[in-house]
Structure 1
Amino acid sequence: MQIHLASNNQKKAKELQRVLQAAGISGVEILLMADVAPYAEPIEDGRSFEDNALIKARAGAAATGVPTLADDSGLAVDELNGMPGVLSARWSGRHGDDEANNDLLLGQMAHVPDERRGCGFVSVCALVLPSGEEHVARGEWRGTLLRERRGDGGFGYDPLFLPEDADGRASAELTPEEKDARSHRGKALAQLVPVIAGLV
Protein backbone atom coordinates (compact mmCIF):
# COMPACT_ATOMS: atom_id res chain seq x y z
CA MET A 1 0.00 0.00 0.00
CA GLN A 2 1.19 3.51 -0.79
CA ILE A 3 0.72 6.72 1.17
CA HIS A 4 1.75 10.03 -0.30
CA LEU A 5 3.33 12.32 2.28
CA ALA A 6 2.80 15.83 0.91
CA SER A 7 6.30 16.97 1.81
CA ASN A 8 9.90 16.52 0.76
CA ASN A 9 11.08 16.39 4.37
CA GLN A 10 12.93 13.09 4.79
CA LYS A 11 12.85 13.45 8.58
CA LYS A 12 9.04 13.59 8.55
CA ALA A 13 8.94 10.48 6.35
CA LYS A 14 11.22 8.59 8.74
CA GLU A 15 9.10 9.73 11.68
CA LEU A 16 5.94 8.41 10.02
CA GLN A 17 7.68 5.12 9.24
CA ARG A 18 8.77 4.74 12.88
CA VAL A 19 5.24 5.47 14.14
CA LEU A 20 3.76 2.86 11.79
CA GLN A 21 6.39 0.28 12.72
CA ALA A 22 5.82 0.90 16.43
CA ALA A 23 2.10 0.22 15.82
CA GLY A 24 2.90 -3.03 14.04
CA ILE A 25 1.86 -1.75 10.61
CA SER A 26 4.02 -2.98 7.75
CA GLY A 27 3.80 -2.95 3.98
CA VAL A 28 3.32 0.80 3.66
CA GLU A 29 5.39 2.61 1.04
CA ILE A 30 5.75 6.32 1.80
CA LEU A 31 5.97 8.51 -1.28
CA LEU A 32 7.37 12.00 -0.86
CA MET A 33 6.60 14.74 -3.37
CA ALA A 34 9.84 13.90 -5.20
CA ASP A 35 8.55 10.34 -5.71
CA VAL A 36 5.33 11.22 -7.53
CA ALA A 37 4.53 13.01 -10.79
CA PRO A 38 5.06 16.75 -10.28
CA TYR A 39 2.02 18.76 -9.31
CA ALA A 40 1.51 22.37 -8.35
CA GLU A 41 2.06 22.88 -4.65
CA PRO A 42 -0.95 24.66 -3.17
CA ILE A 43 -0.61 27.99 -1.43
CA GLU A 44 -0.81 27.49 2.33
CA ASP A 45 -3.03 30.48 3.01
CA GLY A 46 -5.14 29.00 5.79
CA ARG A 47 -5.54 30.77 9.11
CA SER A 48 -5.09 27.60 11.16
CA PHE A 49 -2.95 24.47 11.18
CA GLU A 50 -6.08 22.49 10.27
CA ASP A 51 -6.71 24.67 7.22
CA ASN A 52 -3.20 24.30 5.88
CA ALA A 53 -2.92 20.55 6.51
CA LEU A 54 -6.16 19.96 4.60
CA ILE A 55 -5.10 22.26 1.75
CA LYS A 56 -1.96 20.18 1.23
CA ALA A 57 -3.58 16.77 1.71
CA ARG A 58 -6.48 17.52 -0.64
CA ALA A 59 -4.13 18.73 -3.36
CA GLY A 60 -1.93 15.66 -3.04
CA ALA A 61 -4.80 13.18 -3.11
CA ALA A 62 -6.36 14.88 -6.13
CA ALA A 63 -3.07 14.93 -8.05
CA THR A 64 -1.84 11.42 -7.24
CA GLY A 65 -4.95 9.32 -6.65
CA VAL A 66 -3.15 7.96 -3.57
CA PRO A 67 -4.15 8.42 0.09
CA THR A 68 -2.31 11.58 1.09
CA LEU A 69 -1.07 12.64 4.50
CA ALA A 70 -0.09 16.22 5.19
CA ASP A 71 1.07 17.90 8.34
CA ASP A 72 1.07 21.53 9.33
CA SER A 73 2.91 22.30 12.49
CA GLY A 74 4.63 25.05 14.38
CA LEU A 75 5.54 26.60 17.67
CA ALA A 76 2.98 28.66 19.58
CA VAL A 77 4.58 31.00 22.12
CA ASP A 78 2.25 32.22 24.87
CA GLU A 79 3.93 35.63 25.22
CA LEU A 80 3.51 36.22 21.46
CA ASN A 81 -0.20 35.37 21.51
CA GLY A 82 0.39 32.01 19.87
CA MET A 83 2.84 33.15 17.23
CA PRO A 84 4.86 32.14 15.22
CA GLY A 85 2.05 29.57 14.85
CA VAL A 86 1.20 28.88 11.20
CA LEU A 87 4.05 31.22 10.22
CA SER A 88 6.68 29.17 12.06
CA ALA A 89 8.56 27.93 8.98
CA ARG A 90 8.85 31.44 7.54
CA TRP A 91 8.99 33.55 10.71
CA SER A 92 12.19 35.29 9.60
CA GLY A 93 10.83 35.94 6.11
CA ARG A 94 12.64 33.05 4.43
CA HIS A 95 10.79 29.73 4.32
CA GLY A 96 12.61 26.89 6.06
CA ASP A 97 15.58 28.92 7.34
CA ASP A 98 15.77 27.31 10.79
CA GLU A 99 18.79 29.30 11.95
CA ALA A 100 17.25 32.66 11.05
CA ASN A 101 13.89 31.69 12.55
CA ASN A 102 15.53 30.64 15.81
CA ASP A 103 17.67 33.78 15.94
CA LEU A 104 14.66 36.04 15.42
CA LEU A 105 12.59 34.28 18.08
CA LEU A 106 15.45 34.40 20.59
CA GLY A 107 15.81 38.12 19.95
CA GLN A 108 12.09 38.78 20.35
CA MET A 109 11.98 36.88 23.63
CA ALA A 110 15.36 38.00 25.02
CA HIS A 111 13.95 40.14 27.84
CA VAL A 112 10.94 37.98 28.71
CA PRO A 113 11.29 36.48 32.22
CA ASP A 114 11.36 32.73 32.72
CA GLU A 115 7.85 32.54 34.15
CA ARG A 116 6.41 33.94 30.90
CA ARG A 117 8.30 31.71 28.46
CA GLY A 118 5.64 29.00 28.11
CA CYS A 119 5.09 27.59 24.64
CA GLY A 120 3.89 24.53 22.83
CA PHE A 121 4.47 22.68 19.60
CA VAL A 122 1.28 22.04 17.65
CA SER A 123 0.82 19.57 14.80
CA VAL A 124 -2.26 18.87 12.75
CA CYS A 125 -2.14 15.86 10.43
CA ALA A 126 -4.73 15.45 7.71
CA LEU A 127 -5.27 12.22 5.81
CA VAL A 128 -7.34 12.55 2.64
CA LEU A 129 -8.38 9.51 0.62
CA PRO A 130 -8.99 9.56 -3.14
CA SER A 131 -12.68 8.99 -2.35
CA GLY A 132 -12.76 12.38 -0.63
CA GLU A 133 -12.92 10.91 2.89
CA GLU A 134 -10.98 13.11 5.33
CA HIS A 135 -9.47 12.50 8.74
CA VAL A 136 -7.86 15.24 10.85
CA ALA A 137 -5.90 14.82 14.10
CA ARG A 138 -4.25 17.40 16.36
CA GLY A 139 -1.38 16.92 18.79
CA GLU A 140 0.22 19.36 21.24
CA TRP A 141 3.45 19.25 23.25
CA ARG A 142 3.89 21.81 26.02
CA GLY A 143 7.11 23.22 27.33
CA THR A 144 9.25 26.33 27.82
CA LEU A 145 11.28 28.43 25.41
CA LEU A 146 14.99 28.25 26.19
CA ARG A 147 17.34 31.25 26.07
CA GLU A 148 19.92 29.52 23.87
CA ARG A 149 20.13 26.49 21.60
CA ARG A 150 20.69 23.06 23.11
CA GLY A 151 21.33 19.78 21.29
CA ASP A 152 21.91 18.95 17.66
CA GLY A 153 19.02 16.62 16.86
CA GLY A 154 15.62 17.31 15.35
CA PHE A 155 14.92 20.35 13.22
CA GLY A 156 13.07 23.66 13.29
CA TYR A 157 12.70 25.05 16.79
CA ASP A 158 13.73 21.80 18.54
CA PRO A 159 16.96 23.33 19.98
CA LEU A 160 14.93 26.06 21.74
CA PHE A 161 12.15 23.88 23.15
CA LEU A 162 12.36 22.45 26.68
CA PRO A 163 9.52 19.91 27.02
CA GLU A 164 7.67 19.47 30.28
CA ASP A 165 8.11 15.70 30.06
CA ALA A 166 11.74 15.15 29.04
CA ASP A 167 13.74 15.26 32.30
CA GLY A 168 15.29 18.64 31.62
CA ARG A 169 16.46 17.86 28.08
CA ALA A 170 15.69 20.01 25.08
CA SER A 171 13.74 18.46 22.21
CA ALA A 172 16.95 18.46 20.14
CA GLU A 173 18.64 16.36 22.85
CA LEU A 174 16.13 13.49 22.65
CA THR A 175 16.57 10.36 20.56
CA PRO A 176 14.19 10.04 17.60
CA GLU A 177 12.26 7.35 19.46
CA GLU A 178 11.96 9.46 22.61
CA LYS A 179 10.74 12.39 20.56
CA ASP A 180 8.17 10.25 18.69
CA ALA A 181 6.69 9.07 21.97
CA ARG A 182 6.19 12.62 23.26
CA SER A 183 5.98 14.98 20.33
CA HIS A 184 3.07 16.90 18.88
CA ARG A 185 3.41 15.17 15.50
CA GLY A 186 3.79 11.76 17.12
CA LYS A 187 0.55 12.34 19.06
CA ALA A 188 -1.31 13.46 15.93
CA LEU A 189 0.00 10.59 13.82
CA ALA A 190 -0.90 8.06 16.52
CA GLN A 191 -4.54 9.13 16.22
CA LEU A 192 -4.45 8.31 12.50
CA VAL A 193 -2.83 4.88 12.93
CA PRO A 194 -6.19 3.03 13.17
CA VAL A 195 -7.35 4.67 9.94
CA ILE A 196 -4.12 3.73 8.14
CA ALA A 197 -4.30 0.19 9.55
CA GLY A 198 -7.76 -0.12 8.00
CA LEU A 199 -6.34 0.74 4.58
CA VAL A 200 -3.50 -1.77 4.57
Structure 2
Amino acid sequence: VVVVVVVRYHFFPSPNVSWRVLDISVAMTYAMLSVYGRANRGLSAAAAMLRGFHSIYPLTSHEQKHLRLLIAARLSCSATLGAYSYHMNPSNKYLLLHAEPAWTALDLIWGQCCKNPGMASAIDNLFYVACKKTSTSSGGLFNCTDLSIPDPCVVDLLESVRKHGGDTSEPPEKRTKIQEETDTKPSITFVTGNKKKLEEVKRILQAGDGKTEKKVEQLSFVITNQKIDLPELQGSPVEIAKEKCSLAAKEVGGAVITEDTSLCFNALNNLPGPYIKWFLDDCGLDGLNNMIAFSEDKTGYAQTVVAFCPGPGEDTIIFDGRTHGLIVPPRGKLDFGWDPIFQPYESGGLTYAEMSKEGKDAISHRSRAFLQLRDHLSKEADTIKAKIK
Protein backbone atom coordinates (compact mmCIF):
# COMPACT_ATOMS: atom_id res chain seq x y z
CA VAL A 1 0.00 0.00 0.00
CA VAL A 2 2.80 2.41 0.90
CA VAL A 3 4.59 1.68 -2.37
CA VAL A 4 1.42 2.42 -4.35
CA VAL A 5 0.89 5.70 -2.50
CA VAL A 6 4.53 6.71 -2.98
CA VAL A 7 4.37 6.01 -6.71
CA ARG A 8 1.07 7.86 -6.97
CA TYR A 9 2.60 10.80 -5.14
CA HIS A 10 5.55 10.99 -7.44
CA PHE A 11 3.82 10.67 -10.77
CA PHE A 12 0.58 12.58 -10.06
CA PRO A 13 1.64 15.77 -8.27
CA SER A 14 -0.84 18.07 -10.05
CA PRO A 15 -4.09 18.89 -8.20
CA ASN A 16 -5.88 18.41 -11.53
CA VAL A 17 -5.18 14.69 -11.54
CA SER A 18 -4.93 13.78 -7.84
CA TRP A 19 -6.91 13.98 -4.61
CA ARG A 20 -7.11 17.29 -2.77
CA VAL A 21 -5.99 15.62 0.46
CA LEU A 22 -2.57 15.30 -1.17
CA ASP A 23 -2.30 19.10 -1.21
CA ILE A 24 -2.51 19.41 2.54
CA SER A 25 -0.39 16.32 3.21
CA VAL A 26 2.43 17.81 1.09
CA ALA A 27 2.03 21.16 2.89
CA MET A 28 2.14 19.41 6.28
CA THR A 29 5.25 17.53 5.20
CA TYR A 30 7.14 20.70 4.40
CA ALA A 31 5.84 22.36 7.55
CA MET A 32 7.61 19.56 9.45
CA LEU A 33 10.83 20.36 7.53
CA SER A 34 10.54 24.12 8.12
CA VAL A 35 12.28 26.15 10.82
CA TYR A 36 9.54 25.01 13.21
CA GLY A 37 10.40 21.38 12.56
CA ARG A 38 14.09 22.06 13.07
CA ALA A 39 13.17 23.66 16.39
CA ASN A 40 11.51 20.38 17.49
CA ARG A 41 8.00 21.65 16.73
CA GLY A 42 7.37 19.61 13.58
CA LEU A 43 4.10 18.05 14.71
CA SER A 44 2.76 21.39 15.93
CA ALA A 45 3.61 23.02 12.59
CA ALA A 46 1.90 20.23 10.65
CA ALA A 47 -1.20 20.30 12.87
CA ALA A 48 -1.51 24.12 12.62
CA MET A 49 -1.26 23.90 8.82
CA LEU A 50 -3.99 21.25 8.84
CA ARG A 51 -6.31 23.39 11.00
CA GLY A 52 -6.15 26.30 8.56
CA PHE A 53 -6.68 24.11 5.48
CA HIS A 54 -9.53 22.15 7.04
CA SER A 55 -11.39 25.39 7.85
CA ILE A 56 -11.56 26.19 4.11
CA TYR A 57 -11.60 22.72 2.56
CA PRO A 58 -12.97 20.30 5.17
CA LEU A 59 -11.49 16.82 4.97
CA THR A 60 -13.64 13.74 5.28
CA SER A 61 -13.01 11.38 8.17
CA HIS A 62 -11.57 8.89 5.66
CA GLU A 63 -9.08 11.50 4.43
CA GLN A 64 -8.12 12.48 7.97
CA LYS A 65 -7.48 8.83 8.76
CA HIS A 66 -4.80 8.58 6.06
CA LEU A 67 -2.94 11.85 6.66
CA ARG A 68 -0.10 10.25 8.58
CA LEU A 69 0.40 7.63 5.86
CA LEU A 70 0.39 10.26 3.11
CA ILE A 71 2.91 12.45 4.94
CA ALA A 72 5.14 9.41 5.47
CA ALA A 73 4.87 8.59 1.76
CA ARG A 74 5.93 12.10 0.78
CA LEU A 75 8.85 12.04 3.23
CA SER A 76 9.88 8.65 1.84
CA CYS A 77 9.96 10.13 -1.65
CA SER A 78 12.01 13.12 -0.55
CA ALA A 79 14.50 11.08 1.46
CA THR A 80 15.05 8.22 -0.98
CA LEU A 81 15.09 10.29 -4.16
CA GLY A 82 17.40 12.79 -2.46
CA ALA A 83 19.79 10.04 -1.40
CA TYR A 84 19.77 8.54 -4.89
CA SER A 85 20.33 11.92 -6.55
CA TYR A 86 23.24 12.65 -4.22
CA HIS A 87 24.70 9.21 -4.91
CA MET A 88 24.59 10.00 -8.63
CA ASN A 89 25.94 13.53 -8.14
CA PRO A 90 27.92 13.72 -4.84
CA SER A 91 29.38 17.12 -5.69
CA ASN A 92 25.93 18.74 -5.37
CA LYS A 93 25.67 19.40 -1.61
CA TYR A 94 22.29 21.09 -2.08
CA LEU A 95 20.77 17.63 -2.45
CA LEU A 96 21.56 16.96 1.23
CA LEU A 97 19.70 20.04 2.46
CA HIS A 98 16.57 18.13 3.52
CA ALA A 99 18.11 14.64 3.86
CA GLU A 100 18.67 14.49 7.62
CA PRO A 101 15.48 16.41 8.58
CA ALA A 102 13.47 14.16 6.24
CA TRP A 103 14.68 10.94 7.86
CA THR A 104 14.09 12.41 11.33
CA ALA A 105 10.59 13.56 10.39
CA LEU A 106 9.81 10.14 8.90
CA ASP A 107 10.77 8.42 12.16
CA LEU A 108 8.59 10.89 14.02
CA ILE A 109 5.46 10.76 11.85
CA TRP A 110 5.55 6.97 11.70
CA GLY A 111 5.70 6.76 15.49
CA GLN A 112 9.18 5.23 15.62
CA CYS A 113 10.99 8.05 17.44
CA CYS A 114 10.53 6.61 20.93
CA LYS A 115 9.62 2.92 20.41
CA ASN A 116 6.25 3.41 22.09
CA PRO A 117 3.31 1.62 20.47
CA GLY A 118 0.95 4.45 21.44
CA MET A 119 2.84 7.17 19.56
CA ALA A 120 1.20 6.64 16.16
CA SER A 121 -2.27 6.81 17.71
CA ALA A 122 -1.33 9.96 19.62
CA ILE A 123 -0.23 11.67 16.39
CA ASP A 124 -3.46 10.62 14.65
CA ASN A 125 -5.38 12.09 17.58
CA LEU A 126 -3.44 15.36 17.36
CA PHE A 127 -4.53 15.70 13.72
CA TYR A 128 -8.10 14.87 14.74
CA VAL A 129 -7.98 17.69 17.30
CA ALA A 130 -6.62 20.06 14.63
CA CYS A 131 -9.68 19.36 12.48
CA LYS A 132 -12.14 19.42 15.37
CA LYS A 133 -11.51 23.05 16.36
CA THR A 134 -11.39 25.52 13.48
CA SER A 135 -12.97 28.69 14.89
CA THR A 136 -11.07 31.98 14.52
CA SER A 137 -10.47 34.81 16.96
CA SER A 138 -11.84 38.32 16.51
CA GLY A 139 -8.74 39.22 14.53
CA GLY A 140 -9.39 36.46 12.03
CA LEU A 141 -6.49 34.34 13.31
CA PHE A 142 -6.62 30.73 14.41
CA ASN A 143 -5.84 29.82 17.99
CA CYS A 144 -3.42 26.91 17.87
CA THR A 145 -2.21 26.97 21.46
CA ASP A 146 -3.80 23.56 22.05
CA LEU A 147 -1.57 22.20 19.28
CA SER A 148 1.63 23.78 20.59
CA ILE A 149 3.67 20.83 21.84
CA PRO A 150 7.30 19.79 21.46
CA ASP A 151 8.07 16.83 19.26
CA PRO A 152 7.95 13.98 21.78
CA CYS A 153 10.75 11.71 22.88
CA VAL A 154 8.15 9.79 24.91
CA VAL A 155 4.44 9.50 24.33
CA ASP A 156 3.59 11.19 27.65
CA LEU A 157 4.38 14.56 26.12
CA LEU A 158 1.11 14.19 24.19
CA GLU A 159 -0.83 13.22 27.31
CA SER A 160 -2.96 16.38 27.40
CA VAL A 161 -3.99 15.93 23.75
CA ARG A 162 -4.91 12.28 24.19
CA LYS A 163 -6.78 12.68 27.48
CA HIS A 164 -8.50 16.01 26.90
CA GLY A 165 -9.12 15.96 23.16
CA GLY A 166 -6.99 19.09 22.69
CA ASP A 167 -8.64 21.10 25.50
CA THR A 168 -5.62 22.24 27.47
CA SER A 169 -7.46 24.76 29.64
CA GLU A 170 -7.13 22.30 32.54
CA PRO A 171 -3.77 20.57 33.06
CA PRO A 172 -3.59 16.76 33.21
CA GLU A 173 -4.07 15.33 36.68
CA LYS A 174 -0.75 13.54 36.61
CA ARG A 175 2.47 15.26 35.63
CA THR A 176 4.80 13.38 33.31
CA LYS A 177 8.04 11.95 34.54
CA ILE A 178 9.98 14.33 32.31
CA GLN A 179 8.15 17.35 33.75
CA GLU A 180 8.88 16.24 37.31
CA GLU A 181 12.56 15.67 36.53
CA THR A 182 12.85 19.05 34.83
CA ASP A 183 11.43 20.75 37.92
CA THR A 184 13.69 18.97 40.42
CA LYS A 185 16.99 18.47 38.60
CA PRO A 186 19.46 21.14 37.48
CA SER A 187 19.76 21.42 33.71
CA ILE A 188 22.85 21.23 31.55
CA THR A 189 22.69 22.55 27.98
CA PHE A 190 24.22 20.46 25.22
CA VAL A 191 25.21 22.94 22.53
CA THR A 192 23.78 21.56 19.30
CA GLY A 193 20.93 22.18 16.90
CA ASN A 194 21.28 18.68 15.47
CA LYS A 195 18.39 16.57 16.76
CA LYS A 196 19.95 13.29 15.65
CA LYS A 197 23.16 14.10 17.52
CA LEU A 198 21.15 15.00 20.64
CA GLU A 199 19.28 11.69 20.45
CA GLU A 200 22.56 9.78 20.14
CA VAL A 201 24.12 11.53 23.13
CA LYS A 202 21.04 11.00 25.32
CA ARG A 203 20.99 7.36 24.28
CA ILE A 204 24.64 6.97 25.27
CA LEU A 205 24.21 8.68 28.63
CA GLN A 206 21.18 6.53 29.47
CA ALA A 207 22.58 3.17 28.34
CA GLY A 208 25.48 2.50 30.70
CA ASP A 209 28.87 1.35 29.46
CA GLY A 210 27.64 -0.13 26.15
CA LYS A 211 29.22 -3.52 26.97
CA THR A 212 26.83 -4.97 29.55
CA GLU A 213 23.09 -5.01 30.03
CA LYS A 214 23.44 -3.27 33.40
CA LYS A 215 22.49 0.40 33.31
CA VAL A 216 24.22 3.01 35.41
CA GLU A 217 22.32 5.08 37.93
CA GLN A 218 20.17 7.91 36.62
CA LEU A 219 21.88 11.25 36.08
CA SER A 220 21.27 13.98 38.63
CA PHE A 221 20.86 16.47 35.77
CA VAL A 222 18.48 17.08 32.88
CA ILE A 223 20.16 17.36 29.48
CA THR A 224 18.62 20.02 27.25
CA ASN A 225 19.92 21.45 23.99
CA GLN A 226 20.37 24.83 22.36
CA LYS A 227 21.82 25.89 19.04
CA ILE A 228 24.39 28.67 19.47
CA ASP A 229 26.35 30.46 16.76
CA LEU A 230 29.93 30.49 18.01
CA PRO A 231 33.01 31.79 16.17
CA GLU A 232 35.02 29.27 14.17
CA LEU A 233 38.16 28.58 16.19
CA GLN A 234 41.50 27.18 15.18
CA GLY A 235 44.09 25.17 17.05
CA SER A 236 44.38 21.67 18.44
CA PRO A 237 41.17 19.74 19.20
CA VAL A 238 41.63 20.28 22.95
CA GLU A 239 42.35 24.01 22.58
CA ILE A 240 39.30 24.46 20.36
CA ALA A 241 37.09 22.51 22.77
CA LYS A 242 38.11 24.52 25.86
CA GLU A 243 37.61 27.92 24.23
CA LYS A 244 34.34 26.89 22.59
CA CYS A 245 32.87 25.58 25.86
CA SER A 246 33.90 28.71 27.76
CA LEU A 247 32.23 30.95 25.18
CA ALA A 248 29.09 28.78 25.21
CA ALA A 249 28.81 28.99 29.01
CA LYS A 250 28.87 32.79 28.79
CA GLU A 251 26.25 32.76 26.02
CA VAL A 252 23.89 30.37 27.85
CA GLY A 253 24.59 31.77 31.29
CA GLY A 254 24.79 28.31 32.82
CA ALA A 255 26.24 24.83 32.62
CA VAL A 256 27.05 23.61 29.11
CA ILE A 257 28.40 20.63 27.23
CA THR A 258 30.13 21.02 23.88
CA GLU A 259 31.71 18.48 21.61
CA ASP A 260 34.19 18.69 18.77
CA THR A 261 34.66 15.72 16.50
CA SER A 262 37.69 14.98 14.37
CA LEU A 263 38.49 12.40 11.71
CA CYS A 264 42.25 11.96 11.51
CA PHE A 265 44.17 10.29 8.67
CA ASN A 266 47.53 8.93 9.79
CA ALA A 267 48.90 9.35 6.27
CA LEU A 268 48.24 13.10 6.54
CA ASN A 269 49.67 13.59 10.05
CA ASN A 270 46.16 13.59 11.58
CA LEU A 271 44.48 15.90 9.08
CA PRO A 272 41.64 16.75 8.42
CA GLY A 273 41.24 16.49 12.21
CA PRO A 274 38.86 19.09 13.69
CA TYR A 275 38.37 20.61 10.23
CA ILE A 276 36.67 17.49 8.87
CA LYS A 277 33.33 19.32 8.49
CA TRP A 278 34.77 21.74 5.94
CA PHE A 279 36.75 19.05 4.15
CA LEU A 280 33.59 16.97 3.86
CA ASP A 281 31.58 19.93 2.56
CA ASP A 282 34.19 20.78 -0.08
CA CYS A 283 35.45 17.32 -1.08
CA GLY A 284 32.59 14.92 -0.37
CA LEU A 285 33.07 11.33 0.77
CA ASP A 286 34.89 10.24 -2.37
CA GLY A 287 37.13 13.28 -2.19
CA LEU A 288 38.17 12.38 1.34
CA ASN A 289 39.21 8.95 0.10
CA ASN A 290 41.13 10.51 -2.78
CA MET A 291 43.16 12.59 -0.32
CA ILE A 292 45.05 9.46 0.76
CA ALA A 293 45.03 7.66 -2.58
CA PHE A 294 48.79 8.28 -2.80
CA SER A 295 49.47 6.26 0.35
CA GLU A 296 49.13 2.62 1.29
CA ASP A 297 48.36 3.74 4.85
CA LYS A 298 44.56 3.90 5.13
CA THR A 299 44.53 3.92 8.92
CA GLY A 300 43.11 6.68 11.04
CA TYR A 301 41.02 7.42 14.07
CA ALA A 302 37.80 9.16 15.00
CA GLN A 303 38.01 11.50 17.96
CA THR A 304 35.45 13.34 20.05
CA VAL A 305 36.57 15.92 22.58
CA VAL A 306 33.72 16.65 24.99
CA ALA A 307 34.03 19.75 27.13
CA PHE A 308 31.98 20.54 30.22
CA CYS A 309 31.76 23.87 32.03
CA PRO A 310 29.46 24.37 35.07
CA GLY A 311 28.93 28.04 34.24
CA PRO A 312 30.52 31.36 33.19
CA GLY A 313 33.98 31.83 34.68
CA GLU A 314 34.25 28.19 35.85
CA ASP A 315 36.99 25.79 34.76
CA THR A 316 36.37 23.65 31.68
CA ILE A 317 36.99 19.90 31.90
CA ILE A 318 37.94 17.84 28.82
CA PHE A 319 37.01 14.23 27.97
CA ASP A 320 38.80 12.64 25.00
CA GLY A 321 37.30 9.59 23.25
CA ARG A 322 38.95 7.81 20.31
CA THR A 323 38.18 4.87 18.04
CA HIS A 324 40.82 3.56 15.62
CA GLY A 325 40.10 2.04 12.24
CA LEU A 326 40.39 2.33 8.45
CA ILE A 327 39.35 4.93 5.88
CA VAL A 328 37.34 3.08 3.20
CA PRO A 329 35.12 3.88 0.18
CA PRO A 330 31.63 4.94 1.36
CA ARG A 331 29.22 2.19 2.44
CA GLY A 332 25.89 2.39 4.26
CA LYS A 333 23.47 5.26 4.86
CA LEU A 334 24.62 8.66 3.63
CA ASP A 335 22.69 10.82 6.10
CA PHE A 336 25.16 11.18 8.97
CA GLY A 337 28.37 12.95 7.99
CA TRP A 338 31.44 10.86 7.29
CA ASP A 339 30.18 7.65 8.95
CA PRO A 340 30.11 5.79 5.59
CA ILE A 341 33.92 6.01 5.13
CA PHE A 342 35.10 5.03 8.62
CA GLN A 343 35.45 1.32 9.45
CA PRO A 344 36.45 0.75 13.10
CA TYR A 345 38.73 -2.18 13.88
CA GLU A 346 36.14 -3.40 16.40
CA SER A 347 33.16 -3.35 14.00
CA GLY A 348 33.57 -6.72 12.32
CA GLY A 349 34.18 -5.14 8.93
CA LEU A 350 31.29 -2.65 9.00
CA THR A 351 31.46 1.11 8.60
CA TYR A 352 29.78 3.30 11.21
CA ALA A 353 26.97 3.86 8.68
CA GLU A 354 26.35 0.10 8.38
CA MET A 355 26.21 -0.56 12.11
CA SER A 356 23.14 -0.61 14.34
CA LYS A 357 22.75 2.26 16.78
CA GLU A 358 23.48 -0.05 19.69
CA GLY A 359 26.55 -1.53 17.98
CA LYS A 360 27.95 1.88 17.16
CA ASP A 361 27.29 3.22 20.66
CA ALA A 362 29.34 0.37 22.14
CA ILE A 363 32.56 1.37 20.35
CA SER A 364 32.16 4.90 19.02
CA HIS A 365 34.50 7.80 19.82
CA ARG A 366 31.50 9.89 20.88
CA SER A 367 30.30 7.15 23.24
CA ARG A 368 33.71 6.83 24.85
CA ALA A 369 33.99 10.57 25.47
CA PHE A 370 30.45 10.98 26.79
CA LEU A 371 30.76 7.98 29.11
CA GLN A 372 33.79 9.70 30.66
CA LEU A 373 31.58 12.75 31.09
CA ARG A 374 28.87 10.62 32.64
CA ASP A 375 31.29 9.22 35.20
CA HIS A 376 32.34 12.76 36.11
CA LEU A 377 28.75 14.00 36.44
CA SER A 378 27.91 11.04 38.69
CA LYS A 379 30.97 11.25 40.93
CA GLU A 380 31.01 15.05 41.25
CA ALA A 381 27.24 15.64 41.25
CA ASP A 382 27.10 17.56 44.53
CA THR A 383 30.05 19.81 43.65
CA ILE A 384 28.64 20.53 40.20
CA LYS A 385 25.17 21.34 41.55
CA ALA A 386 26.69 23.90 43.89
CA LYS A 387 28.41 25.62 40.94
CA ILE A 388 25.37 25.67 38.65
CA LYS A 389 23.69 29.01 39.06
TM-score (norm 2): 0.45
Is 1:156 paired with 2:337?
Answer: yes
TM superposition shift of 1:56: 2.1
Query: Mapping of 1:1-200 within 5 angstroms?
Result: 1-22=186-207, 23-26=216-219, 28-34=221-227, 41-91=229-279, 97=281, 100-113=283-296, 116-130=297-311, 132-146=314-328, 148-152=329-333, 155-197=336-378, 198=381, 199=384
Q: CA 1:16–1:119 in structure 2 vs 1: closer, same or farther (change >3 Å)?
A: same
Report which of the two structures shows the higher radius of gyration computed on alpha carbons: 2
- Structure 2: how far apart are the matches of 1:62 and 1:27? 23
Q: Check conservation: 1:19, 1:189, Cα contact below 8 A.
A: yes
| Structure 1 unmatched ranges of 5 or more | none
- Structure 2: how far apart are the matches of 1:77 and 1:91? 12
Mean alpha-carbon deviation: is it higher for 99-108 or for 83-92?
Answer: 99-108
Which letter does structure 1 place at the counterpart of 2:325?
G
- Structure 2: how far apart are the matches of 1:74 and 1:24? 30
Q: Encode CA deviations 1:59-118: one digit per residue, 9 max, x unaligned.
A: 2211222210001111100111110001101015xxxx3x843232122223433xx111
Q: Check conservation: 1:44, 1:55, Cα contact below 8 A.
A: no
2:171 maps to none
- Structure 2: how far apart are the matches of 1:24 and 1:11? 24
Q: Encode CA deviations 1:151-195: one digit per residue, 9 max, x unaligned.
A: 117722110111100111111111112111101111111111122
TM superposition shift of 1:45: 1.9
Which letter does structure 2 place at the counterpart of 1:4?
T
Q: Encode CA deviations 1:97-156: one digit per residue, 9 max, x unaligned.
A: 3x843232122223433xx1111001110001116032111011000111x211117722
Q: Check conservation: 2:262, 2:274, Cα contact below 8 A.
A: yes
Structure number with greater CO (CA < 8 Å, separation at least 6) is: 1
Say how many residue pairs are matched: 187
Q: CA 1:154–1:185 in structure 2 vs 1: closer, same or farther (change >3 Å)?
A: farther
TM superposition shift of 1:26: 4.7
TM superposition shift of 1:29: 3.5
TM-score (norm 1): 0.84
> Where is the helix percentage greater, Structure 1 or Structure 2?
2
- Structure 1: how far apart are the matches of 2:221 and 2:355? 26
- Partner SS, residue 192 of structure 1: helix
Q: CA 1:153–1:80 in structure 2 vs 1: closer, same or farther (change >3 Å)?
A: same
Which letter does structure 2 place at the counterpart of 1:85?
G
Q: Check conservation: 1:135, 1:192, Cα contact below 8 A.
A: no
- Structure 2: how far apart are the matches of 1:154 and 1:183? 17
Q: Percent identity?
A: 27
> Where is the strand percentage greater, Structure 1 or Structure 2?
1
- Partner SS, residue 32 of structure 1: strand
- Partner SS, residue 168 of structure 1: coil
- Partner SS, residue 317 of structure 2: strand
TM superposition shift of 1:27: 6.5
| Structure 2 unmatched ranges of 5 or more | 1-185, 208-215
Q: Check conservation: 1:153, 1:173, Cα contact below 8 A.
A: no
